[in-house]
Amino acid sequence: MPAPNEITPQQLLRLIGTPDCPAIIDISIDPDFAADPFLIPGAFRHPHTDIPGLLDRLDGRRCVIICQQGIKLSQGLTAWLRSEGIAAEYLSGGMYGWRDTPGAPRIPAAALPDPVGGSTLWVTRHRPKIDRIACPWLIRRFVDPAARFLFVSPAEVAGVADRYGATPFDVEDVFWSHRGDRCTFDTMLEEFSLQTEALTRMAAIIRGADTNRHDLAPQSAGLLALSVGLSRQYRDDTAQLGAGMVLFDALYRWARDGVDEGHDWPTGSK
């Protein structure tokens, strides 16, 4: 019988990418992580010995604790956190169990930019439309939930990146940008090894909307319309990103669970 504070890889996989996903903490010891340097999407590393620091970082949030095999490290820390009133669970089987789960993506740790002040910091052009909302959504839901985004004048992106240590994206001549006929969202899926069925389905829609090729997916025209509407509704780019997160959350759930559902009127006509 599963322990009451245990979560399976399949259960966690259903939560990742959604607003309800708990904090995911990888406490694998350094030699184990060095031998297999990958992260579960959205996870951050933290030493198992720094419990006060982890409590501060969690700030009361529900969490899932991961070690290499899901035995003493993760179960012990989970029990400790629960004694502190934190809704903590450990991942059954640990990273080994996740690695053996079909369809469970793992992010190469080397792909993540260096953090600035505890989280990744990104910079792009102001007045975002499609790619510059889709990419932050992807990063916050699958890479770094605490990521911060700076929207500045196009001519100042490089300078701001240099002065503040931010990672530029969706501008010309940088690593995180369009490649050929693919947009920046595609680049991030490739580099972060996040080419799941749902995200790949989303990528075609985003690419079609972002590059004005609505033949790629019938939903691209609708995404363009909604994205333009959002940009007209908000003058503040950060507020627009907040609203856009909800839009892409809905698109993700459709891409993952709802592609076969239709709608018609009148109801019960067949």
Q: Where are the domains of the chain?
A: 6-107, 112-258
- Chain mean pLDDT for the chain: 96
Q: State residue 211's pLDDT score.
A: 97
pLDDT band at 4 (very low <50, low <70, confident <90, very high): confident
Residue-wise pLDDT for 130-161, tens only, equals 999 999 999 999 999 999 999 999 999 999 99
- Reported as a single tens digit per residue, the pLDDT across 22-32 is 999 999 999 99
Q: Is the pLDDT of residue 270 over 70?
A: no
What pTM did the predictor assign?
A: 0.96
Residue 89, C-beta contacts closer than 8 angstroms, at least 6 positions apart:
5, 6, 7, 22, 62, 63, 64, 65, 78
Res. 267 pLDDT band, cuts 50 70 90: confident
pLDDT tens profile 161-207:
999 999 999 999 999 999 999 999 999 999 999 999 999 999 999 99
Residue range 6-107, CATH number:
3.40.250.10
pLDDT band at residue 75 under the 50/70/90 scheme: very high
